[in-house]
Amino acid sequence: MSDAGLAVIGVTACNQDLGLHPFNIVGEKYLLSIADATKAWPLVIPALGHCPAELILPRLDGILFTGSPSNIEPHHFQGQPSEAGTHHDPKRDATTLPLLKAAIDAGIPVLAICRGFQEMNVVFGGSLHQKLHQVGGFIEHREDKQEPVEVQYGISHEVHIEPGGLLHEAWGRSSAEVNSVYTQGVDRLGIGFRPEAYAPDGLVEAFSIKDAKNFALGVQWHPEWKVLDNPFYTSIFNAFSVACERRANSRTR
């Protein structure tokens, strides 16, 4: 694709205090996954507590909804109040939740990862287990924070991929190995969602939206981590890239 037709993919940021000042930040791994694995250009969407979707969506060819150290405030899915000390980001909630719905409705390709996956579920009427390890019946999905980051984001378990979905189309196989770096997980699945992959304990770890106008995939794991070194992760970004390139070509014509 020429530079004139280069896809522009929005990447959601978090609002976080660093020292005495609030910053909008996004992990470099997400930006690199766009620049390296899709050959598009990442454009950071700040979490200011509001977002003029009608202004920015016509300028974007896709959006990557990122993971984050923070959790969605539980009142968004009628959940019980969080335990003391839980890290929240209300400005991100106020930015990304309406933006995600607007993007899906407008037919913007969407890839949602970890917190983004949870945001997608909540936006469409789903709910979350806030502490999977306290529910019972699930394997340990949290990382060991005492280990080096390469170990934390290393392969943790296999997922079963459902036939006929976006993931199966992209990967062409019925299983894959993924990392596992999260505390919250799907309780009630969003309305109109198609499960795309399950963890060994039966937890939904990927889904798509059945009647979406364009690519709309959420994954609980982190395919952005060293994406070019993992063929399965690369296949996800390739599929996302195709949808974004298609939109870029139609938008610039």
Mapping DSSP onto H, E and C, the string for the chain reads CCHHHCCEEEEECEEEEECCEEEEECCHHHHHHHHHHCCCEEEEECCCCCCCHHHHHHHCCEEEECCCCCECCHHHHCCCCCCCCCCECHHHHHHHHHHHHHHHHHCCCEEEECHHHHHHHHHCCCCEECCHHHHCCCCCCCCCCCCCHHHHCCCCEEEEECCCCHHHHHHCCCEEEECCCCCCEECCCCCCEEEEEECCCCCEEEEEECCCCCCEEEECCCCCCCHHHCHHHHHHHHHHHHHHHHHHHHHHC
Residues of the chain with confidence (pLDDT) below 50: 1-3
The confidence score (pLDDT) of residue 1 equals 42
Q: What confidence tens digit (pLDDT) does each residue in 86-121 have?
A: 889 999 999 999 999 999 999 999 999 999 999 999
Q: What confidence tens digit (pLDDT) does each residue in 171-203 have?
A: 999 999 999 999 899 999 999 999 999 999 999
Question: Model-level pTM?
Answer: 0.96
The confidence score (pLDDT) of residue 5 equals 64
The confidence score (pLDDT) of residue 6 equals 87
The confidence score (pLDDT) of residue 167 equals 98
Question: Domain locations in the chain?
Answer: 8-252
8-252 has CATH 3.40.50.880 classification? yes
Q: Known catalytic residues? A: 114, 222, 224
The confidence score (pLDDT) of residue 133 equals 85
